[in-house]
Structure 1
Amino acid sequence: MINVLFAAREARWPEYQIPLQQAFAKAGLTVNLSQNHPPDTVDYIVYAPNSDVQDFAPYTKCRGVLNLWAGVEDVVHNETLTQPLARMVDYGLTQGMIEWVTGHVLRLHLGMDAHILGQDGVWRTDTPPLSKDRRVSIFGLGALGAACGQALASLGFPVTGWSRSPKDIAGITCLNGDKGFQVALEAADIAVLLVPLTPQTTGLINAAALAQMPKGAMLLNPARGPVIDDEALLAALESGHIAQATLDVFAVEPLPADHPYWAHPAVTVTPHIASTTRADTASEMIAKNIARDQNGQGLIHLVDRTSGY
């Protein structure tokens, strides 16, 4: 019998209990799933960083902590966490991000807002360029960034991707390092931020970075709010250097009602919905990962504590 602790907010238990049990059975695992296992009996923890579990020291048997979120910035630096930590990488997260990014890139590329919001009797005849003439830069080439970049490339967009370490991804011009970052900014008619939040990426898109983007560039952020310097972005929007920003994540969430982003005519706010963990697909990934570990293959999608993701 494998003891799995579900450590997340109480409201998530009804959402995950049956999908997890079904996924464990499908994977051939005999699991005792509970919210209340004694710590010294727990084999694995299915974990949300906003749960009550913040001290991992009592979980002396635990073979792995399986994060329910794609981001691990709220747990990776916990000094009591000595167990392996696995990121959530699953079809639902990836597909959800592809759909949000592709939808909003096409919305900005085609200038849809002028027609959707501008129902004022004006017959607008501006013709957008074809996708081949609109350059997209993806910042962050992990599982989500790579998938979104390839989806956009399949629609004909020239896609440049930047990451801290070298990558080789079909359909994407992959760059890395400081020089690569500059080139990716200069090629960003539309920039999509998909970097993890680390000390190195906090404030990555600051005044200097925004100034290197083409005049009239557009920006999407479904990554993490602190990746952007908000004051610098607002200034770039006011000057017209950046034409539009579509933001799904913020330094403070929910975004305060008096925040300037809400009222800014060149900003679209979405409420952190670009890609959320879906219980059915996440449960399948968790079960497969535990089955791998039980079969001696080890957990996958493990977090590198040094890099923070």
Structure 2
Amino acid sequence: MKEWETELTRWRAELNIPFQLRVDPAEISPEDVDMLVLNPVAGIRDLAPYRGVKAVQSIWAGVEGLLANPTLPEEPVLCRMVEPGLSEGMTDYIVGHVLRHHLGIDRCVRESMAGNWAPAVPPLSRDRKVGVLGLGALGADAARMLARLRFDVAGWSRTAKSVDGVTCLHGAKGLDEILARSEILVTILPSTTETRGILNARTLALLPRGAVIINPGRGPLIDDDALLAALESGQIAHATLDVFNEEPLPASHPFWRNPQVTVTPHIAAETRASFAARVVVEQIGRMIRGEPLWHIVDRSLGY
């Protein structure tokens, strides 16, 4: 069974609603569709026949794949997915790897496997500066959780935001400020014209020497060559990467062979049908009642 067909089976079990629902494109004529609920990379790719739709709901948090689809109609409202499973999964991944690097778990494992008794007590979490680039729903949830664990957390966003327990910075000046303080840097930004390559030779050099990067956001946020150079020079001690400019990561890519890089296969967060189906049901109801939809994408910004 194709991956998208397996996904449809999961959604069928969750979407029990009193509306005319079709979860297989072959079951309904495009001109009869009011709302499209889409996986951006599976199932329907040619959206041109769906010119009459009122809304397009992505089942992913990121919508750059949909925005790059030349057949996406211009008229309907485009919505991204925000649901508790995505936020919780992303926060689990970020907190787990922040703690891993904060506590020096990799070093402990290496020394243990070598039979070495080599004490190295980490600082308290309150004395570890963590930066989070991106304070949307996912980034803000992770930043709040890190702050609850007593880390010294700062967050950065394009425009001013407020998150309890987090020092919030914004704009070009704020970006340089957060980089200069972040011993552990988490990137959870969308991929837009403004954020692609945001971690490059100049910005990586602003981080404290020996900083760690954790990127579960988007692969294009990082200039791969600049990161490899920073790892080689010791400017960056380690990079834990869940997303890449090309996926699956090609077997020939130097990230695979670099001991200072941890590769995880885009597992930080996944849309869970059990949660997301409730969002879809609510969106359908809001459309029928003529109410504003949730999480509308500003196409000019890309999120």
The one-letter amino acid of 1:41's match is D
Which of 44-53 and 173-182 deviates more? 44-53
Aligned equivalents of 2:13, 2:270: Cα separation in 1: 20
Asked if residue 255 in structure 1 is aligned to residue 249 in structure 2, the reply is yes
Distance 1:32 1:257, change over 3 A: closer
- 1:135-146 superposed matches below 5 A: 135-146=129-140
Instruction: Say whether 1:63 aligns with 2:57.
Output: no
Equivalent of 2:114 in 113, 120, 126: 120
Of 104, 110, 118, the residue aligned with 1:111 is: 104
Q: How many Å separate the matches in 2 of 1:52 and 1:31?
A: 16
In the TM superposition, 1:274-293 aligns within 5 A as: 274-293=268-287
Residues 145-173 of structure 1 deviation map (CA, whole Å, 9 limit, x = unaligned): 00000010000001111111111111111
Distance 1:219 1:170 in 2: 23
Deviation at 1:93, TM superposition (A): 0.6
CA distance in 2, matches of 1:29, 1:174: 43
> Deviation string for 1:152-200 (max 9, x for gaps)?
0000001111111111111111111110000010111000000100011
TM-score, reference length from structure 2: 0.94
Once the two structures are superposed, what CA deviation does each residue of 1:266-296 show, in whole Å capped at 9, x if it has no partner? Answer: 1111000011112221222211221222222
**1:289-308 alignment, distance < 5 Å:** 289-308=283-302
Residue type at the aligned position of 1:38: S
Provide the residue aligned with 1:134 in structure 2: 128
Whether contact under 8 Å (2:129, 2:153) holds in the other structure is yes
Partner of 2:41: 50
Instruction: Give the partner amino acid of 1:15.
Output: E
Structure 2 spans left out of the alignment, 5+ residues: none
Name the stretch that deviates more: 118-127 or 53-62.
Answer: 53-62
Where in structure 1 are there 5+ consecutive unaligned residues? 1-8
CA distance in 2, matches of 1:10, 1:39: 22
Pairwise CA RMSD: 1.7
1:1-309 matches, within 5 Å, as: 10-20=2-12, 22-25=14-17, 28-36=18-26, 37-51=28-42, 53-79=44-70, 80-82=72-74, 83-118=76-111, 119-309=113-303
Distance in 1 (alpha carbons) for counterparts of 2:107 and 2:182: 21
Identity of aligned residues (%): 46
Moved over 6 A (4+): none
Q: CA deviation at 1:30?
A: 4.7
Separation in 2, partners of 1:286, 1:213? 41
Q: C-alpha deviations, 1:214-273, integer Å up to 9, x for none?
A: 011100000111110111111111111111110001111111112111111111110000
Distance 1:148 1:81 in 2: 34
Q: TM-score, normalised by structure 1?
A: 0.92
Code of the residue aligned with 2:234 in structure 1: it is G
The 8 Å contact of residues 50 and 73 in structure 2, kept in 1 or not, is answered as no
Question: Would the alpha carbon gap of residues 24 and 294 (structure 1) be closer, same or farther in structure 2, given more than 3 Å must change?
Answer: farther
Counterparts of 1:222 and 1:245 in 2: how far apart (Å)? 11
SS at match of 2:156: strand
